[in-house]
Amino acid sequence: MSRQDEYKDLEERLRQARPSTEPSPPAWKNNLRAQLMEKAVAMNQEKITPGRILAAAGAFIILIGIPLLFWFIQGSMNQSQPLSSGAAAEAVATALPATTQEKTAVPGALIPENTVTPVPLADDAWIVSVEPPPGAPLTPQSILTFTVGYDLQSVAAAQLQVKLVTGENEGIGVGTGETAVSQGQRTAVIPVPLADMEILADGDEVSAQLLLVNPGAERLLYLDMPGEMRWPVQTTSATAAIVRVGPPAPFQPPGDTPTDKPIFQIDITAAYTLTGSAEAILVINAAQDVAGGVAVTSATTPIREGSDLVTTTLTLPADAFATDGTLLPAVTLSAQVNQYNAETGQYTNLYPGDAELPQGEAAGPPPESPDIVRIGAIMLDENSLNVSLDYHLESAPTATLTLEDAAATAVAEPLTVAAGDDNLTLPITANTLQAGMPLTITAVLDSGAAQTTDSRTLRLNDFQSDGAEDLWIAHIDVITGTAVPADMALLQVTVGYRLGQEFSAGAIRYSVRHQTGNAGGGGGGGGEQLSPGLGIITFPIYLPQSALTGEYDGTVALQFELTGTAVAGQNADSQVLSTLTPDLSQLLPES
């Protein structure tokens, strides 16, 4: 079967796989139709028509014109009769407004229904400043901070809201922030995270709406749509930062390549986040001042969309290191993320955004081989640590999968794996894990054409719960600063679990929700499959720092859930065994 036929066949199978649905209940459908028709009629009646304009003009004549005419005639009559004294004239003058007021209520005049004299609202709100300013590109991690001036007069308290909108007629909300305000003229600072990036594409524009809402009556007091303030959307973004530098290990180039000085390799672990692009290249640069300029050595690693830690091996001459094995201060390490555009054959620097692109091989290979390896659960039994690995191999028919420690020494028998997706478990000797000593395990998938890695650091006491729990927090690493997007924190939450042998399989799922004062929030979740036994799993979770510090009354709720699946006959029954809600409120000090 040709490739084209295969696709046609697949498309046909997809059409046939369409899930059937129940027809809509006729009563509900008719009822909804009737309601919509009623609303449509009402909306049409509210429109301004020539008849309505005539009716309004008639009402104006009756209510205002006739009393004015009457007052004018009476005034003329009074003027034609000279006042006999100054006191009498004063009495008439002061009486005039009262007379006018009385005569607005014309006896017998018909006041049409729905004639409401509009009362101008005194409430007002305006944008004083906003960061980032209009025109600056917004990325999935963007939080816009609005400083809003407001003048609230009509009610004692209200909600001041800023909405980010996009799309046709700006009808799609992509972020909201709000704060409670009280009567008076003041300013408020409202952070608004860009919340719904899934519906945004590169080139879309986001604008802001400003609202004052009376929360009790759910009534809109003020609305402004300053359409001139627009921000373009850049859905592809990345951040990267070096979080760990390993010790140097001597390196002998393959073959008989002569070297004028000893060469060492160091493992550099970087935390990255990549959004809006399936793949990109992480480049680690080591810049060293040398006579006549700066020598830059680079190493590259393909990365996939999401956030994770990756370890890259950098090869440097011995004179880059001090005698104690640390890098000399003159050697500066930096991380950058580049995206390769297959259509143009060009690289774009995604992070830090203005980095000079390395040329040639140093730019990294085009990400045509998006291999991936990921460490899942790490299980401990009496004799060994069993490391669960998922991999995706595309760049070559086979690759070597190895597990190494921090000194790049293999701690398990290397495996040859075939192209495709698979998961497997590699045992390593448990005595590599000593009490009190952290152990870094790096999985390396090397196809010859590409190399990709994933690392985890664990400790023996990660596997010990304080009590008899099935689920516990082993440790949490908080990564902030340049390693993660501005104002965000990356939590590497390592969860320990114990799943009894009566279950054939299990899973840990987590849900996270954060709220920053009244300025909105967000949430998410994920999960991991696991096998029975004692183990740990690390989950990367991104949160706004303000949610962790309690700034703006921020809160964060995180919950893990352990489920076990027991198979009885033909049926599989899953049940929730344990839930865990760690307190994250004190992870970061309040700034």
Partner 1 sequence: MQDEAQLVQQARHDPTAFGQLYDRYVDRIYAYVQRETGDTAVAQDIVSATFEKALQNLPRYEWRGVSFGAWLYKIARNEIRMQYRRQKWFAPLQDRFFSDAHVERAVQQQEEQDAVRQALKRLSARDQEILRLHFFEELSHAEISIVVNCSTRNVAVRLHRALKRLRRKLADSAPEVMCDVTSG
Q: Which one-letter amino acid corresponds to residue 40?
A: A
Site string for partner 1, 540-569 (x = CB under 8 A): -------------------x---x-x-x--
Q: Which of residues 87-126 bind partner 1 (CB under 8 A)?
A: none
CA dihedral 517, 141, 549, 587 (to 10 degrees): 140
Binding track, positions 141-170, relative to partner 1; x by CB under 8 A:
-------------------------xxxx-
Binding of residue 201 to partner 1 (CB under 8 A)? yes
Instruction: List Cα–Cα distances, 340 to 37, 236, 285, in angstroms.
Output: 53, 12, 18
The mark string for 487-516 relative to partner 1 (x by CB under 8 A, - otherwise) is: ------------------x-x-x-x-x---
Here's the x/- map for partner 1, 202-241, by CB under 8 A: it reads as --x-------------------------------------
How many CB atoms are closer than 10 A to CB 90?
Answer: 11
User: Which residue of 2, 13, 80, 82 would you call a contact of partner 1, by CB under 8 A?
Assistant: 13
173 versus 317: smaller Cβ distance to partner 1: 173
C-alpha dihedral sign at 201, 193, 144, 334: negative
Q: State the minimum distance, in angstroms, from the CB of residue 475 to partner 1.
A: 24
**In sequence order, what E strands does 324-450 have?**
331-341, 346-351, 372-380, 384-404, 415-429, 439-446
Residue from 1, 2, 5, 22 that binds partner 1 (CB under 8 A)? 22
Helices (runs of H) and strands (runs of E) counted in the chain: 6, 24
Name the CA dihedral angle for 280, 284, 290, 293, rounded to a multiple of 10 degrees: 20
CB of 166 to partner 1, least distance (A): 8
Q: Tell me the closest approach of the beta carbon of residue 405 to partner 1, in angstroms.
A: 30
Least distance to partner 1, CB of residue 560, Å: 11
What is d(CA 204, CA 14) in angstroms, rounded to the nearest whole number? 31
Burial 157-193 (b: 16+ CB within 10 A, else e): ebbbbbbbbbeeebeeebbbbbbebeeeeeebebbbb
**Backbone dihedral angles phi then psi of residue 53, each to the nearest 5 degrees:** -65, -40
Instruction: Name which of 123 and 561 has its Cβ closer to partner 1.
Output: 561
Residues 450-479 that bind partner 1 (CB under 8 A): none
Question: Counting contacts by CB under 8 A, is residue 53 touching partner 1?
Answer: no
Backbone angles phi, psi at 331, to 5 degrees: -95, 120
Spatial neighbors of 44 by CB under 8 A, at least 6 apart, are none
**Tokens of residue 174, six digits:** 């992509």
Please report whether residue 50 would count as binding partner 1 according to CB under 8 A. no
Site residues for partner 1 per CB under 8 A: 6-7, 10-11, 13-19, 21-25, 28-29, 32-33, 35-37, 39-41, 43-44, 47, 166-169, 171-172, 196, 198-201, 204, 420-421, 505, 507, 509, 511, 513, 523, 525, 527, 529, 559, 563, 565, 567, 571-572, 574
